[in-house]
Homo-oligomer: A and B are copies of this chain.
Amino acid sequence: MTEGAPRVVIVGGGFAGLAAAKALRKTPAQIILIDRTNHHLFQALLYQVAIAALTPGQIASPIRGILQNQKNVTVILGEVTGVDENRRYVFLDTPERKAVPIPYDYLILATGVTHSYFGHDEYQQFAPGLKSLVDAVAIRNKILLAFEQAEAEEDPGRRRDLLTFVLVGAGPTGVEMAGALAVLVRTTLKPQFRRIDPVSARIILVDMASRVLGSFSEDLSEAATRRLQKLGVEVRLGKPVDQIDKDGVIIAGERIASKVVIWTAGVAPSAAGKWLNAETDRAGRVRVREDLTVPSHPEILVVGDTMSLDRDGAPLPGVAQVAIQQGRYAGRLIHARIAGSSTPAPFRYFDKGNMAIVGKGFAILESGRLRLSGFLAFFIWVGVHVLSLAQSGMRLSVFFQWLWGYLTAQRGSQVIVDHCAFKGGDDTGPARGTATSIKAPEENSSPD
């Protein structure tokens, strides 16, 4: 590489950022890719970690490993906290230093989204969302621990509360999670307990919307609802969540006691708009031009979930395919500018379609005029997701894990690991146990 080659800074190692870096592989540039974590995460499979089917290592690949053969990329672990768009710096916090200015000639912001609690940030402590490996492991711990506590619990009321799970938000994550949780209790957990029947667990899926999976056609949305109900999931639509607290939720005025509430209802874009002082849409996403650049800053591109661009009057959806195609486009545009070749035509999104899995052996799929539901769609879902994993070793690993789980109901990662502290007891009161509080197992055990 030539000394003084132009410097491209990419912020974010998700689908968009990685696609941009790869599209620059032959570009005579110094590329710096910055991410807060050391891994690229396949977010659509996060809920599989939360329901103990996959391990964190199976859906997360080290960014350095993915890009190790692309010698023009340097990967830096750290958090970007701002941009000086006039002097062309991003400001970086690393584990060792704060606000280090990193100069750029071209900047690609691919900083994604985070949870949104619609103004109720106090819900977060009671109803965690599902955006990172930390979230997924914390939710896995919560779910598995609820069954453990129920098994040791004598009071039927407390037992019932422990076995009530509420999922707020009936989009893809909420629906896939609800279905997977229903399968978890029916297959893996059922034979493992003696005093409780895991199948008695209530799984409630709630949304303000009038149907699940609003991005699909109505008939597929109905097929998914029927499938969920067949699995025992209570689907409550058109109902607002009035309150979430440590005792559970209030849905349309009715209190439901629950120890495990999971939030999949909303997302908010990253702070990229604030860093740039740029025009944003109502959700806070940066409005970009048709070549994904920011107005008046042709050297800054914003791509993926944190950008806003209309297609046929509606904004592009926040899905992996948009992120990948935009990342690739951004890389190509910058390559053309650096190489002095002709810049590509305005960005156009090619919609490959949409899929969601509901429970075991059932999925829905929509692509162009094709609509599918059932086992074939499930089969395609598995294939597409296995092939989309970033690291080749993980493809085999995940495929065999799913196959094994499908056949035996054994989970890949049914472990409770409280990384911060395991305390044998909470602080809510004195010991309430009595000599008889752990009863003999035969009283509730199911027959062989």
Contact = CB atoms under 8 A, between A and B. Distances in A.
Contact of A36 (B424, B430, B437, B441): B424
Contacts of A440: 3, 5, 7, 30
B103 A435 contact: yes
A89 B433 CA distance: 13
Interface string A413-433: 111111110101110001111
Given A55-B57, A396-B404, A39 B97 contact: no
B38 A416 contact: yes
A422 to B, nearest CB: 7
A56 B138 contact: no
A58 interface: yes
A38 B152 contact: no
Contact of A419 (B37, B64, B134): B134
A121 interface: no
Interface string A75-114: 1111101000000010011111111111100000000000
A241 interface: no
Interface in A29-80: 30-32, 36-39, 55-58, 60-62, 64-65, 68-69, 71-79
Contact of A101 (B75, B433, B445): B433
Contacts of A60: 415, 417
A54 to B, nearest CB: 8
Contacts of A342: none
A74 B194 contact: yes
A386 interface: no
Contacts of A55: 55-58, 413
B194 A133 contact: no
Nearest to A153: B96
B416 A191 contact: no
B99 A433 contact: yes
Contact of A68 (B32, B61, B192, B442): B192
A433 B195 contact: no
A144 B62 CA distance: 10
Contact of A420 (B39, B411, B419, B422): B419
Contacts of A153: 96
A64 B192 contact: yes
Contacts of A74: 151, 194-195, 441, 445
Contacts of A410: 65, 391-393
The size class of the interface chain A forms with chain B is 35 or more
A94 B425 contact: yes
A164 to B, nearest CB: 16
Contact of A152 (B77, B134, B401): B77
A3 B57 contact: no
Nearest to A80: B424
A117 interface: no
Contacts of A97: 152, 425, 431-433, 437
B400 A397 contact: yes
B391 A396 contact: no
A152 B76 contact: yes
Interface string A110-142: 000000000000000000000001100110000
A434 B92 CA distance: 11
A101 B445 CA distance: 21
16 contacts: A37-B417, A62-B411, A62-B414, A74-B195, A76-B152, A78-B424, A95-B149, A96-B152, A97-B425, A97-B437, A98-B431, A133-B415, A134-B418, A393-B408, A393-B410, A393-B412
- Nearest first, the 7 A-B pairs at minimum CB distance are A100-B433, A57-B413, A93-B424, A419-B419, A79-B424, A64-B192, A55-B57
Given A38-B414, A392-B408, A397-B412, 12 more contacts: A5-B440, A37-B422, A68-B192, A75-B151, A76-B438, A77-B152, A79-B424, A96-B426, A134-B417, A393-B401, A397-B404, A420-B420
